[in-house]
Structure formats: structure tokens, C-alpha cells
Chains A and B, each alone.
Chain A
Amino acid sequence: KNQVEQSPQSLIILEGKNCTLQCNYTVSPFSNLRWYKQDTGRGPVSLTIMTFSENTKSNGRYTATLDADTKQSSLHITASQLSDSASYICVVERLTGGGNKLTFGTGTQLKVEL
């Protein structure tokens, strides 16, 4: 069964600290993996996208890693800011004969506090 599981479900950290969010997937055959940030009351915004051959991708203070062998990805946030408070969603795209399909994780809710 094609699934994307994210951990932790929620996380609270102090401003300035680093954190790492996890994404494990069983989706196959794999096409690419994307991380989205979704602020409360807003639509998701894409942070990074990685294909099979890429094992790291950065976007400012956000760094995503991908291990296609173990089917794991992580999103590392450096020097967190209050504005990083949001839900982070991992999405895996798989190849199908009838057009690629997406499987969404349920997200990690991050809260950054003073």
C-alpha cells in the first residue's frame, strides 16, 4: 500500500533552535518527493523537490535530505524563527501508467516559541 508517514505529529521548539522533521514512505515506483509548508489558514507552499538521484536540497534555512534506499526523507530547519510555525507536509509522487499520482503525508505541526 502506498503510504507516507510523518513524525513527529507535532513539535514545539524555542526560537533560534534547530529541528528535524521525518518522512517515511512506501510509495513505489518513486518519482519525486516534495516538502510543503502550510501556514494556518493558507494554502501549502512548496519548499523543495527531490528526484531519485538527489539526496539533499536546500532552500534558505530549510534543508531536505532523501535516502531512496531506505525510503526516508528529513526536513531540517536551522535557527528557527516564529514565522516557521506551520504545518510541514511531505508528498511523494509515484509513476503510474495513467499519469503520476501523489500521496500526501498528514503533516507535522511545528510551533516556534519565544
Chain B
Amino acid sequence: DVKVTQSSRYLVKRTGEKVFLECVQDMDHENMFWYRQDPGLGLRLIYFSYDVKMKEKGDIPEGYSVSREKKERFSLILESASTNQTSMYLCASSSASRRDRQPQHFGDGTRLSIL
């Protein structure tokens, strides 16, 4: 069965810390995505990667960066965490045959709290 695995389900960090969220997929997908999900708002795309070392900004990239050193792994980095980055973060992937922004498989999310 296909799987997108996010390293932590829950994470608590302090303001100003550098935070790493990790995501691994086992489907050999070229495309990977990071979203955040907040109550009353739809999922919003932070960053998108269509190949190793390739990335594109999504709708809300400010305060975030990403790393894709290996095909199966896509990391989201909060350079200096702030309280307004408290949210649910979802990783997703899709195959290159649909090189677009339609994720096929989602991870179960990381609920991040910044204190």
C-alpha cells in the first residue's frame, strides 16, 4: 500500500527555534508538497517540489523553506518559528505523469504548536 510518512504527529517548539518537519514517501513519486491546514481555512500550499533539488513557492511561503536532497524525502523548515505558524502541516505526493499541483496521497499530518 502506498505511504506518505511524516516523522512526528505532534510537535511543540518555542518561538525563535529552527524547526524541521520531515516527510518520506515510498511510491517513487516525483512531486511532493507541503500544506498547512487551519480551522476555517482550506488547505494552503506552502511549497512544491517536482524533482530532487527543485522547488517552487506556493501560496504562503513566507517564513518557510524546504529541502529535497533525495527523491523520497521532502523537508519543511521553519527558519525562526513564530506563534502564527502553529498549525497542522500536511505533506503529499503525486507522480510525474500529472506534473501539476494535484496531490494524490497525503500523510497524516504534524500538529505543530509554537509557544
Contacts and interface: CB of A to CB of B under 8 A. Distances in A.
Pair from one complex:
yes
Interface residues of A, number: 21
Given A41-B108, A45-B106, A105-B42, 16 more contacts: A4-B42, A42-B108, A43-B4, A43-B90, A43-B92, A43-B106, A43-B108, A44-B43, A44-B90, A89-B42, A91-B43, A100-B101, A102-B45, A104-B43, A104-B44, A106-B41
Interface residues of B, number: 20
A34 interface: yes
Interface of A: 4, 32, 34, 41-46, 89, 91, 93, 99-107
Contacts of A104: 42-44
B25 to A, nearest CB: 12
A41 B88 CA distance: 10
Contacts, number: 46
A44 B106 contact: yes
Contacts of B43: 44, 89, 91, 104
Given A43-B92, A43-B108, A89-B42, A99 B4 contact: no
Interface of B: 4, 9, 40-45, 56, 90, 92, 99-102, 104, 106-109
A43 B107 contact: yes
B80 to A, nearest CB: 27
Contacts of B40: 106
A45 B100 CA distance: 18
Contacts of B92: 43
B100 A99 contact: yes
Nearest to A93: B102
Nearest to A39: B108
A100 B102 CA distance: 8
Nearest to B41: A106
Nearest to A34: B102
B101 A93 contact: yes
Q: Which of B41, B56, B99, B100 has the most CB of A within 10 A?
A: B100
